Structure 1
């Protein structure tokens, strides 16, 4: 006590230094109005529009839950079965590394795929929870319906006839095609770039029209050519397979 009185200026300086350090640390302290208290979990989502809730439970949800049994650190599983949709939540202990848990779940799902209905593809949810920050945005044309747009026929943009010319050279003449183009931009241009941003767990696209190619065969003409529906389906599938390049070995001529 006597030392504090004799060196009161030194004590005051130390207190000021400690206070300044505390104020500086306070500016770096992350403050969240709604702290994320969600437990350590991995979600598996599966979509099959052709199955009822009971069939989803029996043929999708239950096999996935069974396949997850025995994973190190797994405490419990919760599931939700709706019309055409299954969600299984695997709850792990707080000491389990999340990425280790996701790897184990992915391996178990791969093993369980043979017991699931054909065509179903279970997907592991992103590394986030329901309390994570969500950023919503909308995509639209700079000049909707061409109002106020600078028209240059033949150049990408709005044309004098009211259509929209894309940079790829496609002419969009109606609202459906223009909405489909916005969805294409979201899927192939904006979404891949957003996924590279640090901290983004996933990008979900809602709305618009996905571009589809529909084949409507004429049964009479198919019968005239002797082609069945299954053969047509196989031909369409074979014509849309994307494969890598290959090479051809030719033996050298020996002399």
Structure 2
């Protein structure tokens, strides 16, 4: 009752106090910081490891499981999940909110350096989820009718749609003021599949890895440095990437009985 009695005896003072609270509230509200896209750091880390040519089961046993066992004892880890795919392992660590992710990343790296992974596997890399890297807007290009990628004619249309997105749509959006980056996903990327007759290779005594190595060595552009002459500089390059299908078929993959063996001979 003292507050009520005081309010009755001093109405002017109570009114001034109430007005002061309102004024301070309005001023504080007007000065609150606003951010359309606030910087939010999620306490997650992803350990990515490449192991080319290995199936999901082997990835799980040889890569994902050892990494899980090594990083699960890191301080602050709340959950560990993994995803094993052909040739790749992704292990995701979820930490408690408030964990210093810089120190957590260093701790995870120390644990990974103690692992004995298969020699053919790449060194594990640690990636942090950045919400700022997520797209703000998404545009979808759809064909006029449903397309089946197993049909050659439809496959060509899907490849053309991807080419349209990369060469025209992306370049047009990148020129818009305020756009930091444009990423194209989906569709079909034009590829050339080389099918090799294993029996014919074995008969000629040519290892399969030798065929792969020859294709990699032939399909490459190399920089040769800069040549200076008469005050002018010339960029020296070795341009050797495949342009025509015949160039791939005519690659020499080995020799048999002193004669060169072309890719077309074993494909």
Q: TM-score, normalised by structure 2?
A: 0.49
Give runs of aligned pairs for residues 212-227 of structure 1, distance below 5 A: 212-216=191-195
Q: TM-score, normalised by structure 1?
A: 0.50
1:102 to 100, 105, 129: 105
In structure 1, distance between residues paired with 2:50 and 2:214? 27
In structure 1, distance between residues paired with 2:93 and 2:14? 60
Residues 110 and 221 (structure 1 numbering): CA distance in 2 closer, same or farther, change over 3 Å? same
Segments of structure 2 that go 5 or more residues without pairing to the other structure are: 1-5, 145-154, 228-267
Task: Say which one has the larger Rg.
Answer: 2
Give runs of aligned pairs for residues 157-172 of structure 1, distance below 5 A: none
Equivalent residue of 2:92, what SS?
strand
Taking only aligned residues, the RMSD between alpha carbons, in angstroms, comes to 5.4
| 8 Å contact kept, 1:45–1:125 | yes
Q: Alpha-carbon deviations, 1:201-225, whole Å to 9, x = none? A: xx886420123233456889989x9
Residues 63 and 214 (structure 1 numbering): CA distance in 2 closer, same or farther, change over 3 Å? same
In structure 2, distance between residues paired with 1:190 and 1:65? 44
Query: How far apart are residue 247 of structure 1 and its match?
Result: 7.4
Give runs of aligned pairs for residues 160-239 of structure 1, distance below 5 A: 174-182=156-164, 184-185=166-167, 206-216=185-195, 229-239=208-218
Residues 236 and 247 (structure 1 numbering): CA distance in 2 closer, same or farther, change over 3 Å? same
Segments of structure 1 that go 5 or more residues without pairing to the other structure are: 146-172, 249-255
Which structure: greater strand fraction?
2
Q: Alpha-carbon deviations, 1:149-184, whole Å to 9, x = none? A: xxxxxxxxxxxxxxxxxxxxxxxx941331341464
| 8 Å contact kept, 2:64–2:84 | no
Q: 2:26 matched to which residue of 1?
A: 20
